[in-house]
Amino acid sequence: MQNILSRSIPEGSIPERIEVPGKEIFELPEKVLQFGTGVLLRALPDYYIDKANKRGIFNGRVVVVKTTDLGSTESFQRQDSLYTQKLMGIEHGIHVEKTIINASISRVLSASKDWEAVLACAENPAMELVISNTTEIGLVLDAEDKILNSPPKSFPGKLLAFLYRRYHFFQGNSHKGMIIIPTELIPENGKKLREIILTLAQLNQMEDDFINWLIAHNHFCDSLVDRIVPGKPDGQHMAEEEQLLGYRDELFVVSEVYGLWAIAADLAIVKDILSFSQIDNGVIIAPDIRKFRELKLRLLNATHSLVCGIAVLSGIETVKDAMENEDMRKLIQDIMNQEIIPSIIGDDISLQEANEFANQVLDRFRNPYIEHKWINITLQYSSKLKTRVVPVLQEYILRFNEVPNLIARGFAAHIQFMKSAPATNGYTGKQESVEYPINDDNAAIYATHWKDNSNGIVKAILGDLALWGSDLNELPGFTDKVNNWLNKSNFKLTPNNLFQNS
């Protein structure tokens, strides 16, 4: 029986090739409050913090707040919040593989069960930084949220309650404000979170002095994160990994080597606090990060979102598998080169910059080490299409006065993918005899449309303002193009009919 990873694991039982934290790491103060336990946060921001701590630079650990009731914190407790991160990929033409034990996290608290302990973190004078990733649907205003609830319902409500406790405990001290960096993939995420926080403070009739302290002494930074993180391997693959490790790890995470954390900031105080930026070129602090966001959001994320439904319905399991399929690889390249790049180049992004980034993305997609499953990319599929793809669709039609054929294919695949039936834990779809999970907060909307409007499904879904914020049927020719692809050969997505022109 293998030992489980924890501080008590016997010395000498960990292979020398694995980078381990020194004992001094565990004595560092808690400087960061992080909302979210997801693998992206653990594999990117927490990776940089851990790397800096091991070099004696940032010297602070992370308290993680679990914001949902799904799952538990027991694995973190059993492992003293330690976890193994395996980074694999191609860097400057060289195959890279390294394994570390990440000790950035000091403890994990449940918002629903440990709310007073979360608020107590506000009384820690060493606290300087808040990080969040609550997905694209997390940065929303709940006008009914009450910050005196235990806990408030929304993430912004929880954060506001934390800041309110800190304000009162330190009696409005101007030096005890926080640097707040949301990493949710929406435009100007820092500005949006700030607006929500200030609105929520007014709705909760909080005192003017507190609101003034919020405005003057707390810094909300826009940010962008980029790293492919498939997470923990399944079944036999994980057993093989643990055999090589010599210990069990319930929190094991795999990521690519490439990483980017771009943070919009120009104040010296912010740069000083974010000292972990010194240890890796993947952390960029700049006054304006919009270019980085646009390149990543469109060429990486929008491509993912346009292809994931096609891939799942075609029986292609991983991104790597798609890149090894000549037809799918061509589709991916054509989506980038023929429709996305022409829609985003201009004064801020040159054709050369877009082409270089696209080639870099293709290299990342080819990463032979990463098992990035298309079904995982379909998480919150509809909201991702709205934020990542719809602006490209609209801009393409505006610039060229024609419908982008490949984007229409992606939407057709999305509509077919979202045809579902209720299951024990949500909704499932089916392609021929193969079932797949649908993890989307709008799944019920699609199920209703398919039930009530099966003969006019494209028009019904594209016209749903709740899904897109506008009526996509108003885009000239788009509905017909999507409908053509949906009806083509009953949308049985095989190489024989998938890659031909509609």
Residue-level pLDDT at 286: 93
Give the type of residue at 501: N
Give dist(CA 118, CA 194) in Å, integer: 20
E-strand ranges in 1-151 read: 18-19, 30-35, 61-66, 83-91, 94-102, 105-110, 129-132
Edge-first strand order for the sheet with 253-256 is 18-19, 94-102, 83-91, 253-256
Edge-first strand order for the sheet with 420-423 is 420-423, 426-431, 434-438
Band of the pLDDT at 334, cuts 50, 70, 90?
very high
pLDDT tens across 441-477, in order? 999 999 999 999 878 999 999 999 999 999 999 999 9
Q: Which domains does the chain have, with CATH numbers?
A: 18-286 (3.40.50.720), 290-498 (1.10.1040.10)
Residue-level pLDDT at 491: 47
pLDDT tens across 55-109, in order? 999 999 999 999 987 778 999 999 999 999 999 988 776 788 999 999 999 999 9
Give dist(CA 171, CA 391) in Å, integer: 45
Inter-residue contact 212 to 238 (CB < 8 Å): no
When pLDDT is averaged across residues 480-492 and rounded to a whole number, the result is 78
Inter-residue contact 32 to 49 (CB < 8 Å): yes
**Residue ranges in 366-463 assigned as alpha helix (H):** 374-377, 381-384, 390-400, 405-417, 443-452, 457-462
Inter-residue contact 296 to 226 (CB < 8 Å): yes
pTM for the whole structure: 0.77
Secondary-structure breakdown of the chain: helix, strand, coil percentages, each rounded to the nearest 5:
50, 15, 35
In the chain, pLDDT over 70 holds for what percent of residues?
A: 96
Query: What mean pLDDT, rounded, does the chain reach?
Result: 93
